[in-house]
Structure 1
Amino acid sequence: MADEMVRLAQRFINSTYSNGATLGISKLEENGQTGWTTMYALTRALQHELGITSLSDTFGPTTLSTLRTKFPSLNAATVPSWIFGCIIQSALYCKGYDGGGFDGIYNSRVAAAVTQLKQDMGVAGAFPGSSLEPKVVKGLFNMDAYVVVNNGSGVIRAIQQWLNGRYVNRSDFFIIPCDGHHSRDVAKSMLLAIQYELGMADGVANGVFGPGTQAGLRSHPVAVGSTGVWAQLFTAAMNLNKRSVPFGNFTTGVQTAVRDFQSFAALPVNGTGDFQTWASLLVSYGDQSRRGTANDGVTKITPARAQALKAAGYKYIGRYLYNPSSTDLPEKQIQPGELATIKQYGLRCFPIYQTWSRDADYFHYSQGCVDASNAIEWARIHGFKPGSIIYFAVDYDAMDHEVTDYILPHFRGVYRTIGELSDYGVGVYGPRNVCQRVSDAGYAATSFVSDMSSGFSGNLGYPLPTNWAFDQIATITIGSGDGRIEIDNNIASGRDTGQGDFDPPAPNTDDLDVDFDRARYRAALLTGVQTYLTSIGVPETGGEGWKDNDWVTYNLVTTTEAFNYVMEADWLFTNLARTLKLRKALIQAPVMWELRKLNPLDPIADDAVRAGLKDDSSTGWGQIFAWVTIAARNYCIQQGIINGMPYGSEDTRGVWDLLQDPHYNIPTAAYLTIYNAHQLGIARPSLTTGQADTQALLARYNGTGDGAAQYGRELIGLYNVLENYNRLCRV
C-alpha cells in the first residue's frame, strides 16, 4: 500500500540528488513503498552530507564513526542544514513515524517521533530525551521494525528491547529489531550478551560461540530459584527457541518447559539450564562434544569400520544412493556388498540422495521429479525396502525467498514423484529453515538438519525443526588402523531408524532411456520428424483430417512447435520411461501427434466443459478424456504400478481439470499405454516390446476400429523416428 509521505521522501531524494546520480544510484521509483532501495538511498544521502566521498549502501563503521565525531547528538540545535533535516524526516516517514513534514527542521513533531522510536527500540533509558544518537540513527536507516509485525511475539519483543537497553552502549552491540521475531541479528546479540556478562571486554566479545564462551557458560548453570541476569538470558533463549516461558526468573514452570525441550532435543532430561542445554539454545550445533548414535559419511563401511562404529555407540549410518562422479569421492555412493556389512554388524542405514544441490539454480520442479525418479531407481538397485525415507539434500545456505521460489517447487516435484511411483518416503536434508518450511508444506516426513553450519542464515535464529530425525553437529574421526573413518556425528531423535534389512540388490539396467542429447541430435531429429510427417500428409503447418467424425483443419500448432514442446518436457518422458521400464518414444509419439493435430474444435470442446455444457472432452497435451484417465490410473493403482486413491465417476471434472497440467497429462499418457496393453490382452510394454505390439498399443491410444488402426499405422513411423534417436543417446 502506497504511503504519500514515503512518496514525498522518494521525490526529495530524486530532486535533491539529480535523480540519484549524485549518490551513485538510479532514480528512485516514486511508489510510496518503503524498501531497501529507498533506505540505501537515504543512507547514501546521509553519507554525502557527512562529507564521506566513498558512498555505500551500508551504514558501516565509517558512517558511524563520522557521525559520532561530527554529530554525537542530533537535535534542533545541531542539525546542520535543511537537507540534513529532510533526510532525517524522510527516514522517520519510511520507518512509519511522523517526520514532522519536509521543512528540514528538527521540530516538536520530529522530537516526539524520535522519543517514541527510542522507546520502541528499548533504549530510552540508555539514551534519554529526544535527540538522535549515532546508534539510534543507524537503527533508523534500515528496514528493521521496532513494533510487533506479522504475528510476532510480545515476549520476544520485550526480550529484544531488554537486550537493546542493557547492551547498546557496548562497542560492538548495535540496536536489533524489536519485531517479536527471532533472527540472525538477535541470535548474535544473545551471544554478545552472554560474553558481556562473562566479563569479556569490547573487542574480545565477538558473538562467536568459542572456547571462552563455552567455558564461561559451564560455570553458569541455572535451575529453579535462579534469578537475575543469567535467569533472564536463559529464559530469553528459551523463548527464542519457541519455548514459551515467562521472561525473567527460573520458576518451576520454566523447569517443566526445560524438560520438554531437553526431551525434544535428545538432551539429558534434568530440568536445569546446564551447559548442553545452554549450547543447544544458543547455537545450532549445540555441544559438539556430544556423541550421537547416528552418522553419515562418504566412505565405504567395511567390516573393520562397522566394528569401530558399533564400538563407538553408533546405530544408524547415512549413505549416498548415487554419485554422478567416478573420480570425486569414489566411495561416496553405496558400494557393492556394503549394505550386507551394515546388516551383519547390526547397524541400520538411512539413504541420502544428492548430486549437486549447492545453489538456488539447481532447484526447480522438474529437477525435483528427476531427482526423485533417480533416487527410486537407485534405492531399488541397492535393495532398500518400501518404507525407507530418502533424504534429498539442500546443501547450501538458502535464503528464505529462495526457499519459496526454488526449494518448495523442487520438493513438490520430489514428493509427487516419490508418492506416485514408489513406496518410499521423503526426507529433507538442509538448514533448519529449509527443513521446517519443506516439512510444513507437507513435502517431507522427517528432517536431517545440517546444524554444523551454524552461520547459515537458515540456522541462525531458527529452532530445531519439529520433525527432526538426525541432527548433524560435528565432523569427527573414530577408530584406528583399518577401522579408522571420518564421519559427520549426528544426534538421532528416533523418528527414523533407517533400514536394517535389505532386499537383494536389483540389476542396474543399462538399456534404459536417458536424457536426449540435444546438442548432437536435436536438429537431425526435428528434420526426421518433419520429413516423416510430411510423407504421410502432415506438413509443417496446417493439414486436414478426420477427428471425432468431423473433417477438421489442423492449424493451431506447427510440427516444430509440437516437437519443441516434447523436447522441453524430455526430462518427464525420460523419468516415466525409466521408472516404468518402457521405451520413451511410446509416450512421446502420441503426445507429439496430438499436439500437432490440435484444431479449432478442441478449445471449443474444452470451453464447453468449463461452462458445464459437456461432462468431458479430450484435453491437454495428450488429448485424453477424463473417463479414460480414471480407468487407466485406477488399473495402474490396482496393479501396484502407481500409488494413489482410486477415482470414481464423481471425480470426472476434477480429473479433467488436472489434465490441463502437462505434469499430470503426460504421465497419464504413459499409464494409459499400460492400461491399453491390458485391454488388448498383450504383455505390458517393456524395453523389448516388438513392432507389432507397439503399433497395436499406439492404435489403441485412439480407441478401436478402422480409425484407430490407421492411427497406429501413422504413429508407428513417428515412433520409429523418435526411437532411432533415443537409441543413439543410450549408446
Structure 2
Amino acid sequence: MRDAMVLKAQRFVNSVYASRIGMTVEETGEADWSTLYALTRALQYELGITALSDSFGPTTLSTLTDKYPKLNADTVPSPDFCRIIQAGLYCKGYDGGDLDGTYSERVQAAVTKLKTDMGVEQAFPGADLTPKVFKALLTMDSYVLGGSGTQQVRDVQRWLNGRYLNRQDFFVIACDGRVTRDTTRAVVFGVQYEVGMADGTANGNFGPGTQSALKSHPVKQGDKGVYVQLFSAGMVVNQRPAALTDTFDSALAAAVRAFQTFVALPATGDGDFSTFASLLASYGDQSRPGQACDTIAKVTPARAATLKAAGIKYVGRYLTNPSAKSLPEKAIQPGELATIAQNGLRCFPIYQTVNNDAGDFDYVAGRTAGYAAVNAALDHGFKKGTRIFFAVDFDAIDAEISANVLPHFKGIKEAMADSGHPYEIGVYGSRNVCARVGAAGYSTASFVADMSSGFEGNAGHPLPKDWAYDQIVIRPLGSGGGQLEVDIDIASGRDTGQGSFNRPRPAVPDVAFDARQVPPLRADLARYMQSIGRPDIGGIGGDARLYTNAQTVEAIQDQDELITELSHTYKMRKALIQTAVYWAMRDYSLADQATDQQVADHHLSGSGSVKDSHTGIGEISATDAIQAWNHCVGWGFTTGDRRDPAKDADVWAVWQQLNKDNAFSVRTAALLHLWGARGRPGGQLPPGDRVTTPRTMRLDLAEFEITELLRRYRAWDPDVESQTHQSMAVYQIFEKYNSILRNA
C-alpha cells in the first residue's frame, strides 16, 4: 500500500544520497529492500565508510558503536543523519516526525515504541537508538503481530530479544509471531548462552559442544527456571500447544507426551535430551536408533545381517541410477529384493534422477518421472500399492515449491493415474516441501530430509503430520563383507515398504506389438500430448501440425515388424525408435511441408537454394542420414554404398527415400541412434550441462543416456532442449507397453 511518508523517505534518499551511494530507489511509496539498502548505504556514508554495501555488516555495526553508542537528541551528528533514522521509522510503520532532521519527541516516542515491540525496552530503556536496534530498523522484519503469526510465538521472540540482545553475536529477531530460521536459531543461541558458552563461541548451531552441555540440563514436571523457558520456547516454535513459561506444569508435560509420541520418542512427558534436541534441530538426537535406513549400497546377505543386528526393519533403495558409471550399486541390483525378503527386511523404493535444482522440476518432468518410476518399480517386482518416494533433493524455497515442485508432483500424480494407480506417491524433501506437496494432495506420506538442518525448508518448520521416515544421520554399520554406510531414518509406521515381491522383469529383448494394446497406448499418448499443449488440432498458419495422434500411432504400428527387427539387431529398445518417429510426426507442420516442397523445386527445376530439409516420418535430413549410414557402414552395423553429403545428387537421392519410404526413414532413425551412441553431438548444450556421452547401445541404458540419445537425434532443432524434455514422457509411455509385452 502506498504510504506518503515512505514516499517522502524514498525521495529524500534519492535527492540527498543518490550520487554519494551509487544508487537510486524506485519512488513507489512502499517499503522494500531496495529502499532499506539505500538507507544502509547512506548511513555508511555518514559514518565515513568508503566501501559501501547493502549489508549492515560487522564494519557498519562496529563503526556505529564506536562513534555513536547511543543516538538521541544530543548525540545525533547532523540533520541528514537524523533523517536516515526518521526514514527508517517510516519504512517500519512508525511515526518518524516530519523528516525535518530533528530527534524530536515524536521520534523519541517512535523509538521507544519500536523497542517495546522488540521486547528490549527493559534491557535498553528510554528513547536512545542503540546500534543493534538501528541495524534491526533497516531490515524488512516486523515487530508487531502479523496475520499468519501467533501471540505465543511473538512472546518467545520478544523474550529472546530482551534476554540476549546484549550478547555479542545475538541480533534482534522479528517479533511478528511467525517461526523462521532466525527464530529457531535464536533459541539455540539462548541454550548456548545459558550453558556458559562465551561470546565468539556461541554461534546458533546445534553442534557437538552444545549437545554435550545440554545433556546436563534436562527438565521435568515441577522444575522452574530458564531451562524450562527455553524448553517451552522450543515447544512453541515447533507449533505444539504450549506457551512460554518458566514452570514445567502438568499441562506442559501432557503436551510433551503428545510431541514425543508424534516424533516416535518414548512418551515420558519429561524434557530429556532427546526431546530437547528434537525441538532445537530438525535432526534431533542423532544417537537415536532408527528402525529404517536408506542406502546406495547393495543389500547382500552379509549386509542384511548387519542391518538386522542394528535394529533396521525398513530399507530405502533406489529404483534407478542416473549415472552409468558412478555409484554402481545405487539402484536396486538383480536378486537384491529377494535377499531383503529372505532376511526378513522390508524395502521402500525411492525415485531420484538428479533432482537437486529447481530447474530439474516442472510438470513435464513430473509426468516423465511418474511413468519412469512405474516402469522401474514393475521391472524390480514391487507389488501394487507400494509407496514410491519421489525425491526433491535441494533446499527449495517457497517460490520454487510453488513454481516448480508442485507442478512436478501434479505431473507425477497424473502419470500415476494414467498408469491405473499401481503405486502410492510419497515425497522426499525438506519439511516445507513435504508439507506443501502433501497439502496439495499430491502425496500420501513424507520421507523428511531432516539431516539437512541448515535447509531453509527445515529451519522454522515443524515435522510434517504425514511423516513416514525421518532421515537424521549418516552412520557406518558392520565390518568386513557386511560393512555399509546408511542414512539412519526414524520410522513412524505410516509406511512399512514391502516384504515380498513379484518376479522381476529382466532386460530381455522387445517383441512384436500386440494390436490389442494399440487403443490404450493411443489414449495414453493423447492425454499426455493434450496435457502439454499439443493436442491433435493445434497451431495456425505455418505452425499448424499435419498428423494426429491416431495417424502417428498407426504409422508406427505399420512399421512394427521392422522396428522389432532393428531392436533385436542393434540391442536397442523399440521405444527409442518409436519415440523419435512419434515426436517427429506430431511436430511436422505446414511450414515443414512448404520447406519440403522448396527442396523438391530446387532439385527438379533448379529454383531456390533449399537443398535439404528434415523430412519423412522420422523428420531426418538427407545430410544427417548420409552421415549416419556412412558411420554405421564403417562400423559394420549395416551394409550399403557410402554417399557424399556435399553432392547434390546424393542428397537428392537420399532425401527422396526419406520423404517417400517410411521403412527407410525408420531404419535411418535407428542408425541415427547408433551414431548418437558413438558421439554425434546433441545441439547447443547450456553452460554446466550434466550430460555425458552415452555408453554403446544396449537394452539397459540409464534414463540420462536415453535423454541424450533423443537430444542427439534432434540436434538440428533450435529448441532441442525443450523438445527432448517433452519427448521423454513419450518414451516412457512406449516403454510401458513394450515392457508389458516382452514380459507377458
Say yes or no: TM over 0.5.
yes
- Structure-2 residue corresponding to 1:435: 434
Distance in 1, matches of 2:256 and 2:671, equals 63
TM-score by length of 2: 0.71
- Structure-1 residue corresponding to 2:542: 558
Aligned with 2:476: secondary structure? strand
Q: Give CA deviations for 1:18-71 in whole Å, capped at 9, x if unaligned.
A: 3xx43233x311112212121111111111111111111111111111110111
Does 1:203 pair with 2:203?
Answer: no
- Structure-2 residue corresponding to 1:291: 289
1:9 alignment partner AA: A
Superposition pairs of residues 515-664 of structure 1, within 5 angstroms: 556-559=540-543, 562=545, 583-584=578-579
Instruction: Give me the CA root mean square deviation.
Output: 3.0
User: Number of aligned pairs?
Assistant: 563
Distance in 2, matches of 1:354 and 1:24, equals 46
Q: Give CA deviations for 1:467-498 in whole Å, capped at 9, x if unaligned.
A: 11111111111111110111111111111000
- Structure-1 residue corresponding to 2:475: 476
Distance in 2, matches of 1:721 and 1:45, equals 72
- Structure-1 residue corresponding to 2:312: 314
Q: Is the 8 A contact 2:222 2:248 kept in 1?
A: yes
Q: Is the 8 A contact 1:585 1:719 kept in 2?
A: no
Distance in 2, matches of 1:282 and 1:722, equals 63
Report how far residue 211 of structure 1 moved.
2.6
Q: Residues 726 and 147 from structure 1, CA distance in 2 versus in 1: closer, same or farther, beyond 3 angstroms?
A: farther
Match among 209, 214, 225 for residue 211 of structure 2: 214
Q: Residues 588 and 97 from structure 1, CA distance in 2 versus in 1: closer, same or farther, beyond 3 angstroms?
A: same
1:424 alignment partner AA: Y
Report how far residue 445 of structure 1 moved.
1.0
- Structure-1 residue corresponding to 2:6: 6
Q: Give CA deviations for 1:224-273 in whole Å, capped at 9, x if unaligned.
A: 11222111111111011010113212111111111111011000111110
Superposition pairs of residues 10-409 of structure 1, within 5 angstroms: 10-18=10-18, 21-25=19-23, 27-248=24-245, 249-409=247-407
1:457 alignment partner AA: E
2:183 alignment partner AA: V
Report how far residue 212 of structure 1 moved.
2.6
Distance in 2, matches of 1:75 and 1:565, equals 77
Q: Residues 384 and 580 from structure 1, CA distance in 2 versus in 1: closer, same or farther, beyond 3 angstroms?
A: farther
Q: Give CA deviations for 1:530-588 in whole Å, capped at 9, x if unaligned.
A: xxxxxxxxxxxxxxxxx99xxxxx993315x648999xxxxxx9xxx999999447865
**After TM superposition, where is structure 1 displaced by more than 6 Å over at least 4 residues in a row?**
563-566, 577-582, 593-597, 716-722
Q: Residues 380 and 65 from structure 1, CA distance in 2 versus in 1: closer, same or farther, beyond 3 angstroms?
A: same
Q: Is the 8 A contact 2:322 2:354 kept in 1?
A: no
Report how far residue 221 of structure 1 moved.
1.4
Q: Is the 8 A contact 1:373 1:579 kept in 2?
A: no
Further displaced range: 169-178 or 215-224? 215-224
Distance in 2, matches of 1:85 and 1:718, equals 83
Q: Is the 8 A contact 1:34 1:94 kept in 2?
A: yes
Report how far residue 511 of structure 1 moved.
5.8
Q: Residues 205 and 232 from structure 1, CA distance in 2 versus in 1: closer, same or farther, beyond 3 angstroms?
A: same
Q: Give CA deviations for 1:445-467 in whole Å, capped at 9, x if unaligned.
A: 11111111111111111111111
Q: Is the 8 A contact 1:473 1:489 kept in 2?
A: yes
Q: Give CA deviations for 1:347-389 in whole Å, capped at 9, x if unaligned.
A: 1111111111111111111111111211111111111111111
Distance in 2, matches of 1:252 and 1:95, equals 40
Report how far residue 510 of structure 1 moved.
6.3
Report how far residue 289 of structure 1 moved.
0.5
Percentage of matched positions with identical amino acids: 54
Distance in 2, matches of 1:28 and 1:163, equals 34
- Structure-1 residue corresponding to 2:492: 493
Aligned with 1:558: secondary structure? helix
Q: Residues 15 and 565 from structure 1, CA distance in 2 versus in 1: closer, same or farther, beyond 3 angstroms?
A: farther
TM-score by length of 1: 0.73
Distance in 2, matches of 1:563 and 1:43, equals 60
Unaligned runs of 5+ in 1: 514-546, 549-553, 567-572, 598-715
Q: Residues 725 and 390 from structure 1, CA distance in 2 versus in 1: closer, same or farther, beyond 3 angstroms?
A: farther
Distance in 2, matches of 1:455 and 1:435, equals 16
Q: Is the 8 A contact 1:148 1:179 kept in 2?
A: yes
Distance in 2, matches of 1:121 and 1:272, equals 31
Q: Is the 8 A contact 1:350 1:498 kept in 2?
A: yes
Q: Residues 500 and 131 from structure 1, CA distance in 2 versus in 1: closer, same or farther, beyond 3 angstroms?
A: same
2:10 alignment partner AA: Q
- Structure-2 residue corresponding to 1:521: none
Distance in 2, matches of 1:321 and 1:200, equals 46
Q: Residues 69 and 511 from structure 1, CA distance in 2 versus in 1: closer, same or farther, beyond 3 angstroms?
A: farther
1:52 alignment partner AA: I
Distance in 2, matches of 1:84 and 1:159, equals 33
Report how far residue 292 of structure 1 moved.
0.2
Aligned with 1:486: secondary structure? strand
Unaligned runs of 5+ in 2: 513-535, 550-555, 557-562, 564-572, 593-658, 675-744
